[in-house]
Amino acid sequence: MTSSYFNRFNARPQQIKKPPHESLRLIVVIPCFNEPECDSAVQSLYENDFPEELFEIIVVVNHSETASREIVDQNLTSIRTLKTRFSNKSNCHIIEAFDLPKKHAGVGWARKIGMDEACRRFIDIETNGTIICYDADSQCSTNYLKAIDAHFSNPMINGASIHFEHPLEGPLRSSNYEAINRYELFLRYYNCGLKSAHLPFAFHTVGSSMAVRSSAYMKQGGMNRRKAGEDFYFLQKIIQLGNFIEISDCHVIPSARSSNRVPFGTGKAIGKFLDQEDDLSLTYDLTVFNSLGSLHSNAQELYQGDYSTIDSALLEFIINKGLDKSFNALKANTQDFKSFNNRLYQIFDAFVSLKYVHWYRDHVSENKPLLDQSIKYLNSVGITPPDRNYRVALDAYRKLECEAPYRDSLAIKKSSPFK
């Protein structure tokens, strides 16, 4: 499998010549593009109480063949800074991925270069190690490496989404923090809505806050080369293997800054807020998740060919998109309900679910105020925030997503729900 992966999936030749330590267990991969404070992100990792022989850091400093002189100069400055500041660290490696073809140059390819190299290093010592994705403008808790290592000590674990909390105050303009508060609340509301619908892929897909077993990474074809959304598409492949978990006993602190380097995502959303193009005050109607949930609660009837119990809006979407034909074909090719149910969400996957949520917004119920809907969901699970504002609501969601009882529904399974 290892040799076929590197031959099939556009892997570069080996980049790091220094042999890895035989005790190596974790490799943190950091894409760095025009990042003046990348060394701060690396320093945050070294502030962890974790033996340096057990982890490595790979920083992939990258730019495209069309990068401006300013960006190239900043990347060269970043390399000099990293080499100077961490000259005494034998486990910090820099890969210079310069002049990448513009068609694919971007964060996806940068992550792939680093993650592929991490796989090579684990192969060299015959270890099925853990690859951690992190960002060059992030910070982390001081138990970050230790906590991730502890979770992946279970050899069944294939991947993980790691708890994150954006800063809500600091040196940026107050409007940055107001924006990130609303945006993170939107992300958590949406994720909790998917969980309430009992969807098996209801995990955050944040590029700076995810980890994967090296064998799972190669088995599923590695990281893609998307310029944006690479984290979402990558994690959907890993989640399908099963034994994907949430790690909530450590956290990542992503940046609250704006960015125009990708067409969507956190940085873009913050930029739109600052430019007064979007006040981030709206979200999906909570009722869409009740509608989605009818797929799970009526799967047995669906298997029997009875669509009458499916929510009417969801049924209209299913028929319009021809999914009923896919469901019928699935039934014809499965021996029993258990097999049918396990494969149902290969058809109705995370991408289709998002399409349905947008269809519901456009055809059934338009977007509603984020604060109202997010508090309405909290009330539905027995939580009454002490005050009605974005900050209090976000605090409640952060706490909710860290509570073990709420995560128990996502406990490790012996086999994947997708098989």
Q: Cα dist. 402→128, 208, 212, 284, 380 in Å?
A: 28, 18, 20, 23, 18
| Start-to-end CA span in the chain (Å) | 20
Domain ranges of the chain: 2-276, 287-407
* Residue 228 pLDDT: 82
Kindly write down the DSSP assignment for every residue of 214-242, as one continuous string. HHHHHHTT-----SSSHHHHHHHHHHTTS
Indicate whether 256 pLDDT > 50.
yes
> What pTM, to 2 d.p., does this model score?
0.93
pLDDT tens for each residue of 313-335: 999 999 999 999 999 999 999 99
In this structure, whether the domain defined by 2-276 belongs to CATH 3.40.50.300 is answered with: no
* Residue 387 pLDDT: 95
Q: Are 282 and 247 in contact (CB under 8 A)?
A: no
pLDDT band, residue 178 (cuts 50/70/90): very high
pLDDT band, residue 269 (cuts 50/70/90): confident
The pLDDT > 70 percentage for the chain reads 93
Give the tokens for residue 211: 């980890």
Query: What is the chain's mean pLDDT, rounded?
Result: 92
Kindly write down the DSSP assignment for every residue of 250-273, as one continuous string. EEEE-------SSSSSHHHHHHHH
pLDDT band, residue 259 (cuts 50/70/90): low
pLDDT band, residue 279 (cuts 50/70/90): confident
Indicate whether 3 pLDDT > 70.
no
Tokens 């873009």: give the residue. 268
Strand partners, 368: 283
Closest CA relative to residue 165, chosen from 256, 82, 262: 256
Indicate whether 251 pLDDT > 60.
yes
- Tell me the mean pLDDT in the region 284-299: 96
User: Looking at 46-50, 152-156, 174-178, 361-365, which range is the least confident one?
Assistant: 174-178
Give the tokens for residue 411: 């406990």
Tokens 């021809």: give the residue. 322
- CA torsion sign, 30 to 33 to 38 to 44? negative
User: Looking at 73-82, 118-127, 224-233, 405-414, which range is the least confident one?
Assistant: 405-414
pLDDT band, residue 266 (cuts 50/70/90): confident
pLDDT tens for each residue of 53-73: 999 999 999 999 999 999 999
pLDDT band, residue 262 (cuts 50/70/90): low
The pLDDT > 90 percentage for the chain reads 83
- Tell me the mean pLDDT in the region 264-280: 76
* Residue 271 pLDDT: 78
pLDDT tens for each residue of 181-202: 999 999 999 999 999 999 999 9
